[in-house]
Structure 1
Amino acid sequence: MNNEVSNSKYAAFSIPVADVMTQLPTQFFATLVQNVNREIAAGHDVINLGQGNPDTPTPVHIVKALQQAAANPLYHKYSPFTGYRFLKEAVAQRYLEDYGVGLDPDTEVAILFGGKTGLVELPQILLNPGDVCLVPDPGYPDYWSGVALAKAEMSFMPLLERNGYLPDYANIPDSDRDRAKLMFLNYPNNPTSATAPLSFYEETVEFAGRHQIVVASDFAYGAIGYDGERPVSFLQAAGAKEVGIEFYTLSKTYNMAGWRVGFALGNAEIISRINLLQDHMYVSLFGGIQEAAAVALTSSQDCVAELVGRYESRRNAFFQALADIGWKAEAPQGSFFSWLPVPEGFTSASFADLLLREAKVAVAPGIGFGSHGEGYVRVGLLSTEERLVEAAQRIGRLNLFR
């Protein structure tokens, strides 16, 4: 039997594509990955500082908890649709201990397949076509994805160095503010590494309440603060749970990026809507992963302190090396990223291309995070101190900062 399509009566069969699929934002960083892989395939030693993927393994006690839990026959069945209560209790305990925030495990916690899932789901839950979402610029590009899937519109809030990379609510156009139903915030910030004080969140609660805008705080880097300062949670602001939620993830705190464990926390009505949507999409995480995640949250947090100390040591070594080559920049106060200005005569993309081509150092061009990211590159502290210093030295040999 001849199965060749060209001889089939169905040769002209056409696969339909929903309009929304053609409206999704371009995955800018897919090109960066391709370029890095091409250099590696050509035999070059590339120091890849353009990624946001933790470079050290999950702590051993968490891995052992999963290995033991995987043998439990209970977890070989479907998990409860909204997840096990013990995991919700665990993240509530962690928030109470770390931030003094009380959460009801039954009504104020939703378990997610990683934080990104919640960030993309939320606009589809809250927004109709034509509604506006306020989005930071520069910001995490996956905020755009959820808005596109909801067929809503974005209004970008510039994050400028002179304002500490915090949005200025007074500068939001009246027409956008009046149509806005949702706002994304992210501190410690990706890509700028800026942190936000409690006073900013108090201002945010007042602004959101006055204009009926739901706040979505992306707290993915919430555990990573330097110089003895713990980043502030949005939920610490009085009234925060009345106007919004916070997304938290184990990916960065415990080097569990591949485990896909995240949470939405806060406003009970929004949490119930997230659970409702997820009921229609999938059953919850594998129970063994949920048990291991609970162990991560409730056991000694020494591993977190050690991780933050490692990033801080890398930060210090890297910024000393940058100073040695004349590249002036502000050291980050949170996250594992650095936000560095490009030298005169370059765009962020052309500078990133030059570094990869001539120094074999990969960085992420700021334009990939929005128009106000132009003029900067994002550098991850996700390699050893030695490799970070070597990266700076390689860049220094290009004599761009003297």
Structure 2
Amino acid sequence: MPELAARFRSLPPYPLSDVPAIKRDLKSRGVDVIDLGTGDADLPPPPAAVEALRGAAQDPANSRYPFQLGLVEFREEIARWMGSRFGVEVDPMKQLLPLIGSKEGIFHLPFAFLEPGDMTVIPDPGYQAYLGGTVLAGGTPHIVPLRPENDFLIPLDEIPEDVARRTKILYLNYPNNPTAASASREYLADAVEWCRRHDAILAYDNAYSEIAFDGYRPPSIFEIPRAMDVAIEFHSLSKTYNMTGWRAGWAVGNADLVGALTRVKTFADTGVPFTIQHAGVAALRSHADWVPGNVETFQRRRDAAVEALRDAGFDVPLPQATMYVWVPLPEGVSSEAWSRRLLLEQGVALLPGKSLGAGGEGFVRIALTCTEDRLRQAAARMAGLVATAGV
């Protein structure tokens, strides 16, 4: 077999690739496993989406190639939703692109813009598609740790000028996975101006825009003046509508950026299945009636988890958004070693911060993917490990 490419060899292992096998083994031995590791809620999608999928599957026309154009009705519904939700008007044919989940669009974007020596600015910890897309497209990542003292924001004024000159893409994700941090409009305005000044693309990952609490309404980057000059924003049906396995999302923004991503995708795939796009139309139309109840469920889980973790001795902030709680560990504790012990000894699976980048060391991420009672049980087991483990 030929030698693996250097850029492939430089990729880190995907986070916790052996954990599914460990969970299966534990369950086969009768261990009660509480799985809080993956952002994959145990909740159903909107009934309207299920019915639309069922109906669309019975039409043979929906079994044909969708290509990148896809279902025009889906594009138009996305554009309407962007207008009603954010007050952002976009051309559904030129400034929108359906995606097979936002992840693949985020991953494919660098292939249109990076030459050897070009850089991307990547939050650490952060979604692995930012790093994977950069490296496999031949670019160079500039990793910026997200730290509590910076409110888990990338300090743009600390990016070295030689890096800024070479940067083609700045990745931002707020509300943030995994830290659950939010960004102010003032910060986003600074990010837009930073990209304008350095002729960089602002790739704004907005997958958690609809899972927000206590009256907080996360913005679109396009609510920021002049963002359309430099930005492309990614949305997903996965988290908002509990449709992670359906693989549907979209990119929206600057027509030149959307057009370049479209061209890359013509060489990579033949589009989102028509059946899924019909379901996406139904999901978006159910937003006003269905999403608030789903968010209430996540808020109850957030409140239960934070209260239980605080009672267990963890200093946990109350997140404004996302389906995660970012939990600091005792000083000096390895997040990977501690998480593995937690799974093997206590039957609780969660995500060590370091698995999403070295900047996540000292934290673990809990996903609000089970009931309040199970979250309380998990917190109690975590406390037990801290108390007995000599961590």
Q: Is TM-score (shorter-chain normalized) higher than 0.5?
A: yes
Matched with 2:280 is 293
Judged with a 3 Å threshold, the aligned counterparts in structure 2 of structure 1 residues 361 and 240 are, in CA distance, closer, same or farther, namely same
Matched with 1:392 is 379
State the Cα distance separating 1:31 from its structure 2 match: 2.7
Matched with 2:53 is 66
Q: Which blocks of at least 5 consecutive residues in structure 2 are unaligned?
A: none
- Distance in 1, Cα, partners of 2:265 & 2:137: 16
The correspondence for 1:53, drawn from 40, 50, 72, is: 40
State the Cα distance separating 1:397 from its structure 2 match: 3.0
- Distance in 1, Cα, partners of 2:82 & 2:224: 13
- Whichever residue aligns with residue 39 of structure 1, its letter is L
State the Cα distance separating 1:362 from its structure 2 match: 1.2
The alignment status of 1:322 with 2:309, answered yes or no, reads yes
State the Cα distance separating 1:300 from its structure 2 match: 4.7
Judged with a 3 Å threshold, the aligned counterparts in structure 2 of structure 1 residues 232 and 370 are, in CA distance, closer, same or farther, namely same
- Distance in 2, Cα, partners of 1:189 & 1:155: 18
Q: Aligned to 2:17, what secondary structure does the other structure show?
A: helix
Matched with 2:201 is 214
State the Cα distance separating 1:161 from its structure 2 match: 0.8
- Distance in 2, Cα, partners of 1:162 & 1:273: 37
- Distance in 2, Cα, partners of 1:311 & 1:261: 21
Matched with 2:217 is 230
Q: Aligned to 1:397, what secondary structure does the other structure show?
A: helix
Matched with 1:360 is 347
The correspondence for 1:164, drawn from 130, 143, 151, is: 151
Normalised TM-score (structure 2) = 0.95
State the Cα distance separating 1:50 from its structure 2 match: 1.1
Matched with 1:24 is 11
- Distance in 2, Cα, partners of 1:101 & 1:276: 24
State the Cα distance separating 1:103 from its structure 2 match: 1.1
Contact 1:254 1:296 in 2 (8 A): yes
The correspondence for 1:205, drawn from 192, 200, 205, is: 192
- Whichever residue aligns with residue 123 of structure 1, its letter is P
Q: Deviations over 1:224-254 (max 9, x none)?
A: 1111111122121111111110000100111
- Whichever residue aligns with residue 263 of structure 2, its letter is L
- Distance in 2, Cα, partners of 1:15 & 1:137: 32
- Distance in 1, Cα, partners of 2:385 & 2:178: 25
Matched with 2:62 is 75
Q: Aligned to 1:379, what secondary structure does the other structure show?
A: strand
- Distance in 2, Cα, partners of 1:289 & 1:152: 33
The correspondence for 2:358, drawn from 360, 363, 371, is: 371
- Whichever residue aligns with residue 354 of structure 1, its letter is R
- Distance in 1, Cα, partners of 2:96 & 2:143: 29
- Distance in 2, Cα, partners of 1:38 & 1:355: 15
Contact 1:78 1:283 in 2 (8 A): yes
Q: CA RMSD in A?
A: 1.7
Contact 1:62 1:293 in 2 (8 A): yes
Q: Aligned to 2:18, what secondary structure does the other structure show?
A: helix
Matched with 2:111 is 124
Contact 2:46 2:286 in 1 (8 A): no
The alignment status of 1:351 with 2:376, answered yes or no, reads no
The alignment status of 1:99 with 2:86, answered yes or no, reads yes
State the Cα distance separating 1:15 from its structure 2 match: 5.5
Contact 1:88 1:105 in 2 (8 A): yes
- Whichever residue aligns with residue 380 of structure 1, its letter is A
Matched with 1:33 is 20
Contact 1:82 1:275 in 2 (8 A): no
Matched with 2:241 is 254
Q: Aligned to 1:393, what secondary structure does the other structure show?
A: helix
Judged with a 3 Å threshold, the aligned counterparts in structure 2 of structure 1 residues 26 and 240 are, in CA distance, closer, same or farther, namely same
Q: Aligned to 2:387, what secondary structure does the other structure show?
A: coil
More moved, 321-330 vs 248-257 = 321-330
Contact 1:93 1:298 in 2 (8 A): no
State the Cα distance separating 1:42 from its structure 2 match: 2.8
Contact 2:306 2:325 in 1 (8 A): no
The correspondence for 1:307, drawn from 294, 301, 305, is: 294
Judged with a 3 Å threshold, the aligned counterparts in structure 2 of structure 1 residues 300 and 217 are, in CA distance, closer, same or farther, namely closer
- Distance in 1, Cα, partners of 2:101 & 2:57: 20
Matched with 1:144 is 131
- Whichever residue aligns with residue 46 of structure 1, its letter is V
Q: Aligned to 1:194, what secondary structure does the other structure show?
A: coil
Q: Which blocks of at least 5 consecutive residues in structure 1 are unaligned?
A: 1-13
Normalised TM-score (structure 1) = 0.93
Contact 2:174 2:208 in 1 (8 A): yes
- Distance in 2, Cα, partners of 1:176 & 1:289: 40
Matched with 2:255 is 268
- Distance in 2, Cα, partners of 1:99 & 1:357: 45
Aligned residues: 389
Q: Aligned to 1:400, what secondary structure does the other structure show?
A: helix
- Whichever residue aligns with residue 226 of structure 2, its letter is G
Judged with a 3 Å threshold, the aligned counterparts in structure 2 of structure 1 residues 109 and 362 are, in CA distance, closer, same or farther, namely same
- Distance in 1, Cα, partners of 2:133 & 2:271: 20
